[in-house]
A and B are shown apart, each in its own frame.
Chain A
Amino acid sequence: MSWKRKDLLGMQDLDAAEIIGVLDTATSMKEIAAREIKKVPTLRGKTVVNLFYESSTRTRTSFEIAGKWLSADVINFSASGSSADKGESLLDTARNIEAMSPDVVVVRHKASGAPALLARHLRCGVVNAGDGAHEHPTQALLDLMTIREKKGHLEGLNVTIVGDITHSRVARSDIYGMRKMGITVTVAGPPTLIPAQCQELGVKVSHRLEEAIAHADVIMMLRLQHERMQGGFIPSLREYSRVWGLTLAKLEHCRPDVLIMHPGPVNRGVELAPEVADSAYSVILDQVSNGVAVRMAVLYLLAGSKGA
């Protein structure tokens, strides 16, 4: 595959061929994880900076492992305890980091559009590791990889995404990516958590969980942020989990081969009953493993595949 992009900012930018290219690359990367010595020299001498303005253990660690298995030098830069705390602007921080000549900057930021801003100003590659409620493309790629691995294909599947769609970058990236791969996407949640004119994203919208998941091949449960009660989006966690939490009982009328996914971290007992999270339906840990493979693929494509 020929990868031509400087940056990976969102699934909205990618076409189906590019998505398949990343998934195929990730599948071959996954083999490295099975080795006893998990290291290849592909990115030796390359520098990857993890610039995380929002706390994240899973995604940051995943990028870090991905970089290290490819022999890149990985530097973690988190907003707390850094110059960002002292009021340095995002662009100033970025310019300073660029002066140290990284090959790829991986950025997580609470502001939608922050990676796009950086990409405009930095010569090196920029990977969006989650920006506000906008996009989280590597999450969508690892979700697609997991679904393809388990189902053998993507086209024609039904995926239902359940929960806080309004504030979810995962939902947006999944929707963009899945639609391009021929998946039918349904989103479900209380109307307060479905964004304006959501149907125009090319999805079905449902306000009833049972109806939304009845024919699903995959159910993607989103994390409910506790602060949503303060915004008046939901009355209580108790009511949310009763109406929107996925339990074994609600799964009874679903397809027997349904996959349960979750971008993590799971609020056990809120959106997902513990027995569902730990059931045979759940592929949550496969998502995590595939996350490393997808990020290896992305770092390789951005930093390693050209001029190497």
Chain B
Amino acid sequence: MNLLIKGGRVVDPAGGTDAVQDVWIADGRIHKIGRGLKPPAGAEAVDATGKVVCPGFIDMHVHLREPGFEYKETIASGTRAAAAGGFTAVACMANTFPVNDNRAVTDYILARAKVEGVVRVYPIGAVTRNLEGKQLAELAEQAEAGCVAFSDDGKCIMNAELYRRAMEYALPFGLPVISHAEDCELAHRGAMHEGFVSTELGLDGQPAAAEDVMVARDIILAELTGAHLHIAHISTAGAVRLVRDAKARGVRVTAEVTPHHLLLTDEVVRSYDSSCKMAPPLRGKRDVEACLEALVDGTIDCVATDHAPHAVSEKEGEFAEAANGIVGLETAVPLLLDRLVRPGVLDLPTFVARLSVGPARLLNLPGGSLAPGAAADITILDLERTWTVDPATFRSRGRSTPFAGLTGAGAPWMTLVGGVKVAS
């Protein structure tokens, strides 16, 4: 089986490539990259002239909801959304029902993904049993079963002693511990960011300090234990500063940021539209600027969507009562291409790096590069393709997005996993 992707601009930050080249795929793997490649007769060809050929994008923070919450999303619908959005792999969080805190659930997710998934699925195991923050989950078995990281995402482990033990216990597996950094006492009942907008709207706000305090604590624990700490969905200027300082000191800390925390502020909550409600909440202007700067300079290692689908009924009510979370898989790449890459805030190779080699390296995944021999997971972009965000067309079962109705240009054009087209 040979496939030739012809004439595209190949952007492979891991290999330092940014040039018009052909990509020859044989038996699901990258065979050769170069100009004027001549695969054997009968090889399929894709004309990628004018397109951008990248290593497959990896979203290291999604909620696939299966098992247990199939009314919100399934592995089938979530991975289709991923493929349509230009992602060739996703890492899925443990807050399913039952929680992915043991080998049986990890096995189940991987088995379902094998049958129904259209992109690669990497499960993330829970840190504590049932996400209760009281007792360690069986991390060794989860690692053995294929979990690529540990996280109680959605909840913050408030007990510092337990979190220290989790970091220590995870050390031999070489897997990161992912922190949903939110001091839930300090965050109180806050349904949005605390600031002038929350004051005007009369909604309970949670201060940026609720995130900063926990990021500081977790960095200190990472220093103590030597563990690899990854900060999920970083959103505050304070947390960014802490991560930057820690990295400079050599602490093993990495961070991700979501498209919505890069593109929106708490101003949009004025509509009381619950599609603007997520954890962490949309922050102030200064925070957004700090996140952008950190994404550019590498303080933030990758973009992740925190794709968190819910049923319409869970999102349509009163703002304070509505579920946290929005979908992101099908909007992330188009939004960032149009809003950041097009105006030059983020150059294309850096953008590609933050979505491919960035997450691949920090999760020790095989993808993220187009080096010969690597699995042919490839995302091809069309920078001119215009779009309108229309939730009715989503492959995801979730529909809630603050970006509905937006228009722009630049979108995924084709997604290949192991050399097989999964979306175009």
Contacts and interface: CB of A to CB of B under 8 A. Distances in A.
Interface of A: 12, 89-91, 109, 111-114, 116-117, 131-135, 169, 172, 195-198, 200-201, 231
A116 B270 CA distance: 11
Given A196-B195, A197-B195, A197-B196, A112 B317 contact: no
Interface string B201-213: 1111101000000
Contacts, number: 63
B212 to A, nearest CB: 15
B142 to A, nearest CB: 36
Nearest to A113: B272
Interface in B260-319: 272, 313, 316-319
A195 B195 CA distance: 8
Nearest to B188: A231
A12 B272 CA distance: 15
B199 interface: yes
A131 B201 CA distance: 10
A154 B73 CA distance: 56
A111 B319 contact: yes
With most chain B CB atoms within 10 A of its CB, the pick from A89, A91, A112, A172 is: A112
Given A133-B204, A135-B202, 6 more contacts: A112-B201, A113-B318, A132-B202, A133-B203, A172-B202, A196-B195
B161 interface: no
A172 B207 CA distance: 20
Contacts of A231: 188
Contact of B199 (A89, A113, A195): A195
A40 B196 CA distance: 44
B321 interface: yes
A197 B317 CA distance: 28
B182 interface: no
Interface string B61-80: 00000000000000000000
Contacts of A201: 199-200
B203 A116 contact: no
A13 B313 CA distance: 29
A134 B195 contact: no
B317 A91 contact: yes
B199 A169 contact: no
Contacts of B203: 112-113, 132-134
Contacts of A197: 195-196, 199
B204 to A, nearest CB: 8
A91 B313 CA distance: 10
Contacts of A111: 318-321
A196 B190 CA distance: 13
Contacts of B188: 231
Closest 8 CB pairs of A and B: A113-B272, A134-B202, A133-B202, A111-B318, A195-B199, A197-B196, A112-B202, A113-B319
Most buried by B among A12, A111, A201: A111
B317 A90 contact: yes
A98 to B, nearest CB: 16
B196 A196 contact: yes
Most buried by B among A89, A132, A169: A132
A62 to B, nearest CB: 21
A91 B316 contact: yes
Contacts of A117: 272, 317-319
A219 B408 CA distance: 53
5 contacts: A116-B272, A133-B203, A196-B198, A196-B207, A197-B195
Nearest to A12: B200
A113 B269 CA distance: 10
A111 B194 CA distance: 17
B172 to A, nearest CB: 42
A6 to B, nearest CB: 17
A135 B201 CA distance: 8
Contacts of B202: 112, 131-135, 169, 172
A131 B318 CA distance: 11
Contacts of A90: 317-318
A109 B203 CA distance: 13
A133 B272 CA distance: 13
A33 to B, nearest CB: 31
Contacts of A116: 272
A112 B272 contact: yes
A89 B317 CA distance: 7
A231 B186 CA distance: 11
Contacts of A200: 196, 199
A26 to B, nearest CB: 25
A82 to B, nearest CB: 16
B201 A196 contact: no
A232 to B, nearest CB: 10
Nearest to B320: A111
A231 B189 CA distance: 11
Contacts of B316: 89, 91
A134 B320 CA distance: 12
Contacts of B321: 111
Contacts of A132: 202-203, 320
A95 to B, nearest CB: 11
Nearest to A168: B202
A194 to B, nearest CB: 9
Contacts of B195: 196-197
Nearest to B192: A112
A52 to B, nearest CB: 15
A172 B203 CA distance: 12
